[in-house]
Amino acid sequence: LIAKIGYRRLHKQFSELFKKIENAHEKGRSAIQAYAKMTPVSAHLSATAQFKFEEFSKKLKIKKFATSLVDRFIKHIKTAADLDLNKIRIIALAREWQVDENDLLVLAMHATREGLLRLSWELVCPHCRSTRETSERLEDIRKAGHCDVCEVDFSSQDPNAVEINFRVQPSVRVVTEAVFCAAEAAKKDHIKVQLPLKPGESWKGSVHLAPGLYRLRWVGEKNQYVFQLDPKGLKEGTIEWDGSSNFVGHEESYNQVTFEIANSFQQTRLFVLEQMWWAKDLLTPGKVFSLQEFRDLFTEETLGIGTVLDVGEQAILFTDIVGSTEFYETTGDSFAFSAVSKHFDELFKVIREHKGAVIKTVGDAVMGAFNDPSDALKASFAMQNIFVKNQKDLSGIRIRVSAHTGPVLAVRLNSPIDYFGATVNYAAKLQALCGAHEIAFSEKLYETYKALFKDEAVNAEMKSIQISTRKKTIQGYVFNMKA
């Protein structure tokens, strides 16, 4: 009888748990969070801890954050279950609370600086998403990792291999560490196809899939094939893949897809097609590196020498002063210095206001980066609007602006966290297309965000320009902002 009652109770608890997990899954939260909601809060806050929270709350409110957001955040840190605080999922929380993701991220950064939270860099297995190594400093991230479970070696350079984690400072609240695999959903309904294939064996077919991000992989092999399924996508296609190459980070979008999968390995391998439900909640280095607040608050953070991180797509913007040599000569060094400094201040302000970051300055040129390419576009117009309209205040300094978007690598080069690669190079080369009061956008940036230009470019005259250098043709759309 006791066993029966015990079993019934257990059964009831489990069915409640599964119901919660299912509900959470529908709302886009993870199973872990749903489980965490059921576990009792282990922290009983002492009077000292209570006082600390009040102090933090005051300090954060002074920093122009919305009172309601600070209150909600502090309450979460105080009362959430330990499992929810091992890894504070900023993006998932922002969605759940219906607040701006950037606002919550910046709040978490300030809370870290105030001593409430702790920031760490995690090297994550790109297959199962479990943390293989944690570093307190960006500089200490190891270049290579290994996952015993998935039997794969990986590098910090692999897309999504590094994640940022916010935790509570133990001096504020002691949270029991939990070791779990972040991708291990209680129900594996994210797996759509799982098929053992012998060497040389193949599978052809199609699967009914809901819109979303998917990946193909082989258990025990590093390569992956990531693609997007979007009913609005124009392309209908066949994905042919034998696992010998990697397609990650620049995913193709299909409206409908059929598969032709072949095992090119020496052994029988388990082929897996799965939905990447966790991908939208990743707090990746690219998301923080392109935020000015991060660069201002964490000035000591630097990439290790030789470390390369894939920061995904970033929009890169360059500015430069037109006729600077002449300007220095006619105005004199001392006047030129103060005028150029003022010009930098104006540009930095615009970049910050458009959720971007100043990556570096090179002479009179500024290089900025934006997570959302549309912000780069808006910032470009905002900059030229200021410089065209306030010529007198800005000592007659005239600038050119160029912008492009694409995959970028983060390295330690001319700044502690510099951006590097073909996208950066092309954004800089676009400068050759434009002169004073002009903006040159790459074809890619223009074509993708065409709709936005209608509002922004009312006073701009647009033309398509192409120039050929020895090796490459540069083509872009140039906007002249002369009023």
- Quick one: 219 or 308, whose CB is closer to Zn ion? 219
Q: How far is the CB of 129 from Zn ion (least distance, A)?
A: 7
Residues 126-165 as x/- pattern, contact with Zn ion by CB under 5 A: -xx------------------x-xx---------------
Q: Any idea which residue has 């042919």 for tokens?
A: 240
Helix 373-389 with 333-353: angle, nearest 10 deg: 140
- Quick one: 93 or 124, whose CB is closer to Zn ion? 124
Q: How far is the CB of 128 from Zn ion (least distance, A)?
A: 3
- For the chain, the farthest-separated pair of C-alpha atoms sits apart, in whole angstroms, at 98
Q: How far is the CB of 288 from Zn ion (least distance, A)?
A: 24
Chosen residue from 21, 125, 382, 409 binding Zn ion by CB under 5 A: 125
Cα–Cα distance for residue pair 143/128, rounded to 1 Å:
18
- Quick one: 74 or 183, whose CB is closer to Zn ion? 183
# of chain residues touching Zn ion (CB under 5 A): 6
- Spatial neighbors of 46 by CB under 8 A, at least 6 apart, are none
Residue 372 in tokens: 């959302």
Residue 412 in tokens: 């330690």
Q: How far is the CB of 444 from Zn ion (least distance, A)?
A: 34
Residues 81-120 as x/- pattern, contact with Zn ion by CB under 5 A: ----------------------------------------
Cα–Cα distance for residue pair 401/382, rounded to 1 Å:
11
Q: How far is the CB of 150 from Zn ion (least distance, A)?
A: 3
Helix 31-38 with 2-27: angle, nearest 10 deg: 130
Residue 199 in tokens: 């060497």
Q: How far is the CB of 153 from Zn ion (least distance, A)?
A: 11
272 binds Zn ion, rule: CB under 5 A: no
Q: What is the CA radius of gyration of the chain?
A: 26
* Length, in residues, of the chain: 483
Residue 315 neighbours by CB distance under 10 Å? 30
- Quick one: 203 or 277, whose CB is closer to Zn ion? 277
Q: Which of the stretches 65-73, 123-131, 242-250, 360-368 binds Zn ion when contact is defined by CB under 5 A?
A: 123-131
Residue 475 in tokens: 């083509």
Q: How far is the CB of 151 from Zn ion (least distance, A)?
A: 8
- Quick one: 127 or 412, whose CB is closer to Zn ion? 127
Query: Which H helix or E strand runs over 453?
Result: helix 450-456
Task: Determine the residue type at 103.
Answer: D
- Quick one: 55 or 153, whose CB is closer to Zn ion? 153
Residues within the interface to Zn ion (CB under 5 A): 125, 127-128, 147, 149-150
